[in-house]
Chain A
Amino acid sequence: MPKDRLLVGLEIGTFKVCAVVGEARADGSLRILGVGESKSVGIRKGEIVDFNSAIQCVRDAIADAEEKADAEIESVWAAVTGAHIQSFNNRGVTLIPEDRAEIDPEDIRDVEASAKEVNIPDQNWFIHTITQHYYVDNQEGVVNPIGMVGHKLEADFHIVHGVKTRIQNTLRCIKEAGVEVEEVVINAVASAQVVLDQNQKDLGAIVLDVGGGTTDYLVYIDGAVQHSGVLAIGGDHITNDISIGLRIPIARAERLKIEEGSADPNEAQPGDTIILKNDSGFSGCEIERANLNRIIYARVRELLELVKKDIEGHCDIDLARAGVMLTGGCCRLRGFDRVAEAVFDHPVQSVAAQEVAGPTSVFQNPQYATAIGVVKYAQLMQVDPEPTSILGAVGRKLGSIFRFRAGA
């Protein structure tokens, strides 16, 4: 593995396209060299709806990143999201042949393949197969079974899959913009890499990445990914609600949300008004602050409740002892964390990328958590050149089976 190699994470978000250039040091640390971004056009709910505009956005973001990092970008790791992404947990079983007792990498591959023998819709691809726990002859808590002696190897996996063509659209868009795609990773998995430290993963934690078009979440319990999901609601919806509720243009609603909005319904005093100055194409008006906050609160609360309901359907929230980590651009909204605390009834922290070095303005901004996370993920995948990695066997076929060790 070359020393200090450049890794680029690209997130095509609903609000912005952002490319983070990182340097993976030989000692395992990661340093951010520069971040390029451009405002998104043609992206809705995390997915491309206007192909040509999206290509241009990617091109701009890459060019910006090349300039900031003073490096040439040839290939990127891409974050994907969208309502089509689904996940489930499954267990794989394989028997170790009689003539050898030691578990070898081949068996790890077999157990993974057996876990994937499930019926997912035909048009779907496996995106991640994340190992949760190994069991050797029913012994629990095995961290690495290679080299161990046993007859039966079992493993629990968290499997993430999504619609092939919709992922391909993202890939094609990036290729059209002139860069290659190494691998794809879902937003929530990427964000979790930098938002959580090992201690929090072991304790159990929920990562909630609320972006412009989607809310991506991931639950760690006992150091393993227990659940993940995508809800196609994000900051865009809040803006849209404000625009409809207060009858103001979308662009004005977006600014109002950022400058004045709060998710706390009790923050506004009765009679407290905000005066919107007239603008080109907008004649100006006066609005009640309470109304603005009420609209935001209703949406935020509903969003969080939906996420909570989904998580509760898959695992015990109380086991996420480290609480809820909020990240993504939308969680910068005032009062968001308070609503989250009320809904989840758990400690809530607004966090950004933690374990990286570089300009603080970048890694302290939760907007960039996903893109930085992609870089971190890329680093993990390469630092840990698992001999069992299927990547070697299958080759660089995009969207093929990826493997990464949870909490690695």
Chain B
Amino acid sequence: MLEIPRTLLGNPTNPPRILVAGVGNAGISLIDRLALAGFADAVDLVAINTDSLSLSSSVAGRKVLIGSKTARGLGSGGDVEIGAGSAEEAEADLNAALEGAGIVILCAGLGGGVGGGATPIIAELARNQGAVVIALTTLPFGFEGRRRVQQAAEAREQIARHSDATLVFENDRMAELSEPLAGVHETFSAADTVLAETVATLARLVMIPGPIRITPADLLAVFRHADTASHFGYGEASGSNRANEAVERALKAPLMGRGKSLHDARATLVHITASPDVHLAEIRAIMENVARHTDGQLHLGIGLDVNRPSSLAVAILSSTGAAIPVAAVPRTTRPAPVRQPRPAPMEQPAAEPAHDIVEHEPEEVTADSTPAPQKASELFDTSRYAVAKGPGTQGAKKQPKSEQKTLSLDPVARGRFEKSEPTIIGGEDLDVPTFLRQKIKLR
């Protein structure tokens, strides 16, 4: 009998090495969560910050302290200039840390000084090394003031310019993940979990072999554009009805808005991870269910995981919004960085305390990586998530584009069907009056 060289389960090509970098406090708390979830073995986790305290409490395998001169081992104070300056200063260290990665996932909160300031520069460095750069970012809360939101928008634009794909999650939406009266800590932890699941999914997409692979190109097709909001849903189920249950769960995930967010999704990526005995019928059921919610382009990926005896997981990633193509800076704007031969690898930032991970493991693991001396005046740890203190000093060379958003229909428009199961066909919520959806003018 003929032996087919590439079996379904086989892993013919080496998957590209994935490096997940947490930039700034928000990013680091996210990669810490990944490390705790056992992802440290599968991907390289790198913590990057100006704050040596926050770095020392991180459980990431590698740590890069940036801006030892600019920020003197302290935080950026929400100042993007300091963030950017620090990253430029530590270019060599960063380059060494990023070396060899095929895919770099940058996690950052855009409201922060480091997250907003350093991330674009790190993205550029990684790209110049030839890696595919995916930025996973959070936008500040709306109530943090227009200034910060604007600063985040600028940072987002900068990052989009230097990365291949951008996933943007809004903190305002994240807040909906938990009860309105839930503790702040709980809310953030729920948000982190969702983001960590997203990163885990991105990693799985590339790492787990299967008959239909998602290539970085597929990812880029979905997330290529800058001015988007991203949606993520994840569901897992086992048993004989696992396909339907898993996809239902994924669609009902909070960030999916019960499947409504898919409505105006330009492109949607569906990744199914299952045991090798998955049926085609199950995959069809999943895809049909997703297709019911969207008219956009669908990308399908299937990963077969032998370690997953009977369960099936569905991850849905999509992005919406005006498709403004990133004015991509050609990859080689600067000469490829001349790599100075370095005696020692870079994890050891010149300045600060020895970062022996093992040493920190026991206590800090549970401490949720909150940098110890928190400014007590803050209602919550804003630096972690979003906030930039002080005015954004970013040069105002780009006015945020004022664009006409499509009228978003408030839930009131569903009237008496408010609480009933929505009738969604072709991604349209048909309970909303037709004349509103078709924008028929009444006199």
Mark A residues whose CB is within 8 Å of B.
44-45, 49, 83, 119, 121-123, 231-233, 236-237, 239-241, 243-245, 250, 288, 290-291, 294-295, 298-299, 301-302, 306
Interface contact A244-B241, CB-CB below 8 Å:
no
B443 interface residue per 8 A CB criterion: yes
A243-B241 contact in complex given A45-B421, A291-B442, A295-B442, C-beta closer than 8 Å: no
B440 interface residue per 8 A CB criterion: yes
Which chain B positions have C-beta within 8 A of A241?
A: 433-435
A121-B435 contact in complex given A245-B442, A306-B425, C-beta closer than 8 Å: no
B416 interface residue per 8 A CB criterion: yes
Interface contact B241-A121, CB-CB below 8 Å:
yes
Interface contact B433-A245, CB-CB below 8 Å:
yes
B408 interface residue per 8 A CB criterion: no
B369 interface residue per 8 A CB criterion: no
Return the chain B residue nearest A294 by Cβ: B440
Return the chain A residue nearest B412 by Cβ: A244
Return the chain B residue nearest A214 by Cβ: B423
Interface contact A244-B279, CB-CB below 8 Å:
no
Contact pick for A119, options B279, B412, B413, B442, CB 8 Å:
B279
Chain B CB within 10 A, most for which of A233, A244, A294: A244
Interface contact A119-B435, CB-CB below 8 Å:
no
Interface contact A298-B423, CB-CB below 8 Å:
no
Q: How far is the CB of A299 from chain B (nearest CB, A)?
A: 4
Return the chain A residue nearest B417 by Cβ: A240
A244-B415 contact in complex given A290-B443, A298-B434, C-beta closer than 8 Å: yes
Q: Which residues 409-431 of B sit at the A interface, judged by CB distance below 8 A?
A: 412-417, 420-421, 423, 425, 430-431
Interface contact B442-A122, CB-CB below 8 Å:
no
A299-B241 contact in complex given A49-B420, A243-B415, A243-B416, C-beta closer than 8 Å: no
Bound: A376/B368 CA distance, A: 68
Interface contact A244-B413, CB-CB below 8 Å:
yes
Which chain B positions have C-beta within 8 A of A83?
A: 421, 423
28 A–B contacts from the bound complex (CB under 8 Å): A44-B417, A45-B423, A119-B279, A121-B241, A122-B241, A231-B423, A233-B430, A237-B417, A237-B433, A240-B415, A240-B416, A241-B435, A243-B416, A244-B433, A245-B433, A245-B442, A288-B442, A288-B443, A290-B443, A294-B440, A294-B442, A295-B433, A295-B442, A299-B433, A301-B434, A302-B430, A302-B438, A306-B425
Interface contact A294-B435, CB-CB below 8 Å:
yes
Which chain B positions have C-beta within 8 A of A44?
A: 417, 420
Contact pick for B244, options A121, A244, A290, A302, CB 8 Å:
A121
Bound: A290/B442 CA distance, A: 8
Q: How far is the CB of B233 from chain A (nearest CB, A)?
A: 19
Bound: A266/B430 CA distance, A: 24
Which chain A positions have C-beta within 8 A of B414?
A: 240
Interface contact B434-A236, CB-CB below 8 Å:
no
Chain A CB within 10 A, most for which of B279, B281, B435: B435
Q: How far is the CB of A267 from chain B (nearest CB, A)?
A: 16
Bound: A122/B239 CA distance, A: 10
Return the chain A residue nearest B241 by Cβ: A122
Contact pick for B435, options A236, A250, A295, CB 8 Å:
A295
Q: How far is the CB of B212 from chain A (nearest CB, A)?
A: 20
B285 interface residue per 8 A CB criterion: yes
Which chain A positions have C-beta within 8 A of B438?
A: 298, 302
B436 interface residue per 8 A CB criterion: yes
Q: How far is the CB of A293 from chain B (nearest CB, A)?
A: 11
Which chain A positions have C-beta within 8 A of B425?
A: 231, 306
B333 interface residue per 8 A CB criterion: no
Return the chain B residue nearest A49 by Cβ: B420
B240 interface residue per 8 A CB criterion: yes
Return the chain A residue nearest B289 by Cβ: A121
Which chain B positions have C-beta within 8 A of A233?
A: 423, 430
Bound: A231/B426 CA distance, A: 13
Return the chain A residue nearest B438 by Cβ: A298
With A245-B433, A250-B416 known, 18 other A-B pairs at CB within 8 A are A44-B417, A45-B423, A83-B421, A119-B285, A121-B285, A122-B241, A123-B241, A236-B417, A237-B417, A239-B416, A241-B433, A244-B436, A291-B443, A295-B435, A298-B435, A299-B433, A299-B434, A302-B434
Interface contact B421-A123, CB-CB below 8 Å:
no
Bound: A108/B202 CA distance, A: 52
Q: How far is the CB of B234 from chain A (nearest CB, A)?
A: 21
Which chain A positions have C-beta within 8 A of B281?
A: 119
Q: How far is the CB of B279 from chain A (nearest CB, A)?
A: 7
A240-B240 contact in complex given A49-B420, A291-B442, C-beta closer than 8 Å: no
Return the chain A residue nearest B435 by Cβ: A298
Which chain B positions have C-beta within 8 A of A299?
A: 433-435
Interface contact A237-B279, CB-CB below 8 Å:
no
Which chain A positions have C-beta within 8 A of B435?
A: 241, 245, 294-295, 298-299
Bound: A240/B412 CA distance, A: 11
Which chain A positions have C-beta within 8 A of B440?
A: 294-295, 298
Bound: A45/B420 CA distance, A: 8
Which chain B positions have C-beta within 8 A of A244?
A: 412-413, 415, 433, 436
Bound: A123/B442 CA distance, A: 44
Bound: A347/B417 CA distance, A: 33
Bound: A290/B440 CA distance, A: 12
Q: Which residues 353-379 of B sit at the A interface, judged by CB distance below 8 A?
A: none
Return the chain A residue nearest B422 by Cβ: A232
Return the chain A residue nearest B416 by Cβ: A240
Q: Which residues 140-165 of B sit at the A interface, judged by CB distance below 8 A?
A: none
Return the chain B residue nearest A302 by Cβ: B434
Bound: A298/B435 CA distance, A: 6
Return the chain A residue nearest B419 by Cβ: A49
Contact pick for B431, options A119, A237, A298, CB 8 Å:
A237
Which chain A positions have C-beta within 8 A of B443?
A: 288, 290-291
Bound: A301/B417 CA distance, A: 20
Bound: A121/B288 CA distance, A: 12
Chain A CB within 10 A, most for which of B279, B412, B416, B443: B416
Return the chain A residue nearest B282 by Cβ: A119
Bound: A301/B430 CA distance, A: 13
Q: How far is the CB of B263 from chain A (nearest CB, A)?
A: 16
Bound: A306/B427 CA distance, A: 13
Bound: A381/B438 CA distance, A: 45
Interface contact A122-B421, CB-CB below 8 Å:
no
Bound: A299/B428 CA distance, A: 13
Which chain B positions have C-beta within 8 A of A231?
A: 423, 425
Mask, B184-202, CB within 8 Å of A = 1, is: 0000000000000000000
Q: Which residues 280-296 of B sit at the A interface, judged by CB distance below 8 A?
A: 281, 285
Interface contact A122-B433, CB-CB below 8 Å:
no
Bound: A295/B443 CA distance, A: 11
Q: How far is the CB of B243 from chain A (nearest CB, A)?
A: 8
Bound: A306/B415 CA distance, A: 21
The 9 tightest CB contacts between A and B, nearest first, are A122-B241, A241-B433, A298-B434, A119-B281, A232-B423, A240-B415, A299-B434, A44-B420, A298-B435
